Amino acid sequence: MHNYHGKKIAVAMSGGVDSSTVAALLKEQGAEVVGINMKLFERPGEVPGTKGDAELVADYLGIPFHQVHFEEEFARLIMEEFRSRYFGGETPNPCVRCNKYVKFGLLLEKARELGADYLATGHYVRNVAGEDGLWHLKKAAFLAKDQSYFLYTLTQEQLSRVVFPLGEVESKDEVRRRAAAYGLPVAQKSDSQEICFIPNDDYVAFLEKEPERLSGPGEIVHLSGAVLGRHSGTHRYTIGQRRGLGIAWKEPLYVVGIDPQKNRVTVGEVEGLFAPGLRVAELNWIVPPEGDEVRAACKIRYRQHPFDCVVTLLPGGEGEVRFAEPQKSVTPGQSVVFYRDDEVLGGGLITGAL
């Protein structure tokens, strides 16, 4: 692990075991550690004025603690974007956008204001300074927790100012062992899995808090054009979905298309889910490509093994990606991320299948 002795480092502290262990590790190394916690929204059952786990850990470690209020920005940049993309027929990934605009945008700027040399987070990913003068984002040593897929939007400038101390740890058990050895009160706290601002991971209930934006009932149509049934809102569906269609059919049916303009959900057999490639927008390259064609491996969802592809670059940060073999459930709103071995080259937003 790189040694940050004497450096001032702001640690993004959520109150979980990962970021708390990062703060303790860096303090042990002799860094001047400052805890920084983002207030993004009101959590159910939160009691105003009581200390959260992040502040309790900071108190335990004897480090300064700052809470920054990003409620308005988070509501506008993340929650509203999530709603509008869902109502537009897409399936967004708010964690990618939050990393881009909030954690490594607003929060990194706040760390600078506090005089910090670096911002450290509890992400499982590695940040390596190359002999070519570039920073390289690589998968975590502990692949089961690797979060590189969510960080393809980072720039060279951002990478030069961020630290990922958990990138080299071999297991979650090792993190918990270290946390317990430091005596951290959150050593056995369970991990959070779901989208942070959606209670119980029930995104439909979250979206239906704004009934005036709902599409209402519409047709469920087979790829052949036959009307098979009715849906109760396009926002309830995502590409590849099989459950909850309420249609009796001779073969299993899957959602293969969502058209909010026509208020229509299209279904088909499993072969209708496969596509030879995709269209991508908002491309970001951590390592600048040479030429207008890039051969790489790519992932179109987080829990997926990378597969070979060719990216053709188009004007305006757009591109076409062709797969070596057809892939299932290309989903607009999700991200395609490009890899070479264990390194993230870049990625972008999926706009549709080819």
**Residues belonging to the active site:** 98, 196
Tokens 């088909």 found at: 268
3-class DSSP assignment, residue 331: coil
Long-range contacts of 300-307 (CB under 8 A, 24+ apart): 300/327, 300/329, 300/330, 300/331, 300/334, 300/335, 300/336, 300/350, 301/329, 301/331, 301/334, 302/149, 302/150, 306/339
The annotation status of 19 as a binding-site residue, yes or no, is yes
The annotation status of 18 as a binding-site residue, yes or no, is yes
Q: Do 331 and 91 touch, CB atoms closer than 8 A? A: yes
Provide the residue type at 151 as one letter.
Answer: L
* Ramachandran region, residue 216 (left: φ > 0; alpha: ψ -120 to 50; beta: rest): left
Q: Comparing C-alpha atoms, which of 13, 166, 17, 199 is closest to residue 103?
A: 13
DSSP for 72-92 reads HHHIIIIIHHHHHHHHTT---
Length of the chain: 354
The annotation status of 225 as a binding-site residue, yes or no, is no
The annotation status of 311 as a binding-site residue, yes or no, is no
Q: What is the DSSP letter of 289?
A: P
The annotation status of 277 as a binding-site residue, yes or no, is no
The annotation status of 12 as a binding-site residue, yes or no, is yes
The annotation status of 259 as a binding-site residue, yes or no, is no
The annotation status of 175 as a binding-site residue, yes or no, is no
How far apart (Å, rounded) are the C-alpha atoms in residues 90 and 83? 10
Which residues are annotated binding-site positions?
A: 12-19, 38, 122
Which residues are annotated binding-site positions for ATP?
A: 12-19, 38, 122
